[in-house]
Chain A
Amino acid sequence: MSGGPGSSKRSATAPDECRRRAPVSLRLVRIDDRLIHGQVVASWLRAIGAQRIVIVDDATARDEFLREVLTLAAPEGVPVEVHDVASGAARCSELARTPEPVIVLARSPRTMLALRQAGVPIEVVDLGGMGAGPGRRRLHKTISVSPEEIRELRELEQLGTRVEIQIVADDRPISFRSLDSGN
């Protein structure tokens, strides 16, 4: 609860109003450990008509080479920005106020939580790709989570952000809560 009860209430209701009046600018806010790849470029980008991709990831922002590859990997005409968490939060909040449809990508729930706590108005977080590994439990198809990440995702829900699994745009979203309840 960074901004007090008043602000959190407002940010929880604001997306609903937006949905009725104008499309939400942060059209897809997605956790995906591969960041930009086929599902994002081939399915999501076209399906929602996004015109910009914002990547928020501290490690990638430090890596000159990966930054350039990601910048050049998106289809022509779709600018890609790579930010660390601090500048990413400011940039997302700024973009959320513009009409331009944007895709926001982060590698981990922790980054997403940090964005949310910094006041970025995120209505839905999409779990798009979280690989398996030691200590990780499979939640659904290609989505695996660590206990730590479960806690972070629950915290996101408590902040009023819905967490859903929707791997490609044509899939029907599955709520994280429905899969988490059996835990």
Chain B
Amino acid sequence: MTIPIETAARPDAASEGRFDVVVVGAGHAGCEAAVACARLGLHTALLTVNLDDTAKMSCNPAIGGIAKGHMVREIDALGGIMGIVTDRAAIQFKMLNRGRGPAVWSPRAQCDKPLYSREMLALLAGVPGLERIAGVANHVRLERGRVAGIELADGRFLACRAAVITPGTFLDGLIHIGSEKIAGGRIGEHAALALSECLSELGLERGRLKTGTPPRIHRDSIDTAAMAPQRGDDPPQPFSHWTERLELDQVLCWLTRTSERTHEVIRRNIHHSPLYSGEIKGAGPRYCPSIEDKVVKFPERTTHQVFVEPEGRDVPEIYVNGLSTSLPADVQREFVRTIPGLERAELIRPGYAVEYDFVLPHQLQATFEVKQVPGLFLAGQICGTSGYEEAAAQGLIAGINAALQVRGDPQFVLRRDQAYVGVLVDDLVTREHREPYRMFTSAAEHRLLLRADNADERLCEIGHAIGLVSAGQIERVRAKYAAIVAEERRLARISVVVPEGERPMRAIELLARPEGTIAGLAARGVASEIPPAWSDCIEVRVRYRGYIERQQRTAEKSASMDHVLLSVSLWEDELVGVSREAREKLRRWRPATVGQASRIAGVSPSDVAVLMVHARRGRANEAPASVEG
């Protein structure tokens, strides 16, 4: 089977393609979804408008960060690709929050944007069963109520048994720069209008969100001497569990600050901002405010931080992190030039805000399949999230589930106590969303269990069972944790050297103290028998054992509710005993488990108790049917 790659050369070619899964969009969600499907043995198409626009980093040039870095480690442990590509494209590594508690140590890597795309393209090219197709998706064709294929703008049709749609900010995207409005999802690229219309025809309820990006400044126009250099970690720690060694010359970033003069320019021009003139209707992310928002909402602040970050080794663009704005380009230039080090700054591209449609995610299952359209999966910003990492996590889960469904295997859902990825999915399908969803560590009630250091312990076995983590990889992880457990036992047996007159002490007791470290043990005569890279892991396990065990107990309790299934037929029932508000919410969300139901706002603990009764009764009624089946 051959698929025409160059649409421009044969615009009227109506060739048929037949696939198991078609993934629409080759951003961070689409790439994960396509690779997962292909690696699970399915014939997969990855459709994108322009083949070079793959895994583009539309906004900041970094992967990871607090809670996001955790998710990248999890994606990697499940057999996803973001961590590997990041390690290949990164130009600076940093473990954030190192001075805080272990649950919130978060890796982040500054990346070379064009290199990230190239590395992703190289990886995709090496995945058997994955075909990359250039084209514009126009329509999802249904047959007998389920997905039958994707119709392209040029008339081609890609038949498939499941589709994963990942259009990012392109659904009815509208870019704002001052009062100027341009249809598009990313500057210089068209919006996906037909696809947007198609989703409306499918009856999907939608909302409108907004996000923004700062101006890009020319590297040669900044004065680095006037700013504080920001270095990476030495040695750098790789993102991926499978990256053996990192060898790179890390770049510098810089820190500078806005001043009262900056704020004065912004205040004087605030009426030109579409955010304040009422032009923008979509809700923006509060955690990522524009500079005009920060100036207006926190007038008492005389300065705000600006991180000056190169977008790559050999590109002129400098990203000014902290200056996201939709003010007119000339105003942007004026206020940027009030900032130390940026006095002579030349703008390569102005910052802008973009409004786009998203599908209210209560219409999705925890597999990212649209409840009312079997075979149609959505992932990424279309589900109301922001961030490369959130998108990749959804792409992986949607891709795995699309593949499992085509193969006829049971679906795959992570629990909240297993991964941030599980928290992300659950939050999306059980909460109301008023702003783009971003992961925070505070979203995870089992935060001490979900550390960046133990993502492999939590998830590699699962990735292996799915088929995305190889036998060789899982053996490495098993050997690592066997060694760690053996080392803990050894430390519990042997004693450290104590000063004259002090009571004898086991090595593990010393390690459990706040100041205890593996290095500290060596100074007391107990040399470690595990590689230094695992020190963090063992220190945290020993020091926080009591808390970790407590969280494991509460996790087990809540997990038990996630295993109680609610039948879809229940929502047609009267739901006797459930409060009025909860009944309305439950009928809208149609949760799949009692656990999901319990997290919907408006469903009280007593409603949950009643649902448990209904669930039990439902099981009793269904039992004979399943015997027959």
Do A and B come from the same complex? no
Q: Which residues of B contact A (CB under 8 A)?
A: none
Binding site for B on A (CB under 8 A): none
